[in-house]
Amino acid sequence: MITLEDWALIRRLAAEGVPKARIAERLAVSRTTVVKAVNSDAPPRYVRAPQATSFSVFELRVRALLAETPDMPATVIAERVDWTGSMTWFRQNVKALRPEHRRVDPADRLNWEPGDAAQCDLWFPPRKIPLEDGTAKLLPVLVITSAHSRFVTGRMIPTRRTEDLLLGSWEVIRQLGRVPRRLIWDNEPGIGRGNRRAEGVATFMGTLATRLVLLPPNDPESKGVVERRNGWFETSFMPGRSFASPADFNAQFTDWLVKANARVVRTTKAAPIDRLEADRAGMLPLPPIPLHLGWRNRVRLGRDYYVRLDTNDYSVDPTLIGRLVDVSADLERVRVRADGRIVADHARIWARGITVTDPNHVQTAARLRRQFQQPRTAQVAGDLTRDLADYDRAFGLIDEEVS
**317 and 242 share a domain?**
no
Single out the residue in 235, 256, 281 at which a domain terminates: 281
What CATH number is associated with residue 194?
3.30.420.10
Average of per-residue pLDDT across 63-82: 93
> Is 140 contained in some domain?
yes
> Is 94 contained in some domain?
yes
pLDDT digits (tens, 9 = 90+) for 317-373: 999 999 999 999 999 999 999 998 999 999 999 999 999 999 999 999 999 998 888
Contact between 125 and 234 (Cβ < 8 Å) = yes
Answer whether residue 143 shows pLDDT above 90: yes
* Helix ranges, 185-285 (H): 201-208, 224-232, 246-260, 272-281
Q: Please give the pLDDT value at position 355.
A: 94
Which domain does 210 fall in, by range? Answer: 118-281
**184 and 143 share a domain?**
yes
**Would you place residue 402 in the very low, low, confident or very high pLDDT band (cuts 50, 70, 90)?**
very low
Contact between 159 and 141 (Cβ < 8 Å) = no
**93 and 122 share a domain?**
no
> Is 137 contained in some domain?
yes
> Is 304 contained in some domain?
yes
Single out the residue in 212, 246, 281 at which a domain terminates: 281
> Is 189 contained in some domain?
yes
**78 and 199 share a domain?**
no
pTM over 0.75: no
**251 and 149 share a domain?**
yes
> Is 390 contained in some domain?
no
Q: What is the DSSP string of 126-139?
A: SSPEE-TTS-EE--
Radius of gyration of the chain (CA): 39
**79 and 146 share a domain?**
no
**83 and 143 share a domain?**
no
- Number of domain units in the chain: 4
Answer whether residue 379 shows pLDDT above 70: no
Single out the residue in 250, 281, 312 at which a domain terminates: 281
**68 and 151 share a domain?**
no
**129 and 164 share a domain?**
yes
- Please, what is the Cα angle at 210 between 204 and 213, to 5 degrees? 95
**125 and 254 share a domain?**
yes
> Is 49 contained in some domain?
no
What is the average pLDDT score of the chain? Answer: 88
Give the separation between CA 325 and CA 298, rounded to whole angstroms: 6
Q: Please give the pLDDT value at position 16.
A: 86
> Is 46 contained in some domain?
no
Average of per-residue pLDDT across 98-106: 79
**69 and 131 share a domain?**
no
Average of per-residue pLDDT across 129-142: 93
Order of strands, edge to edge, in the sheet holding 306-309? 306-309, 312-315, 355-356
**181 and 256 share a domain?**
yes
Contact between 293 and 262 (Cβ < 8 Å) = no
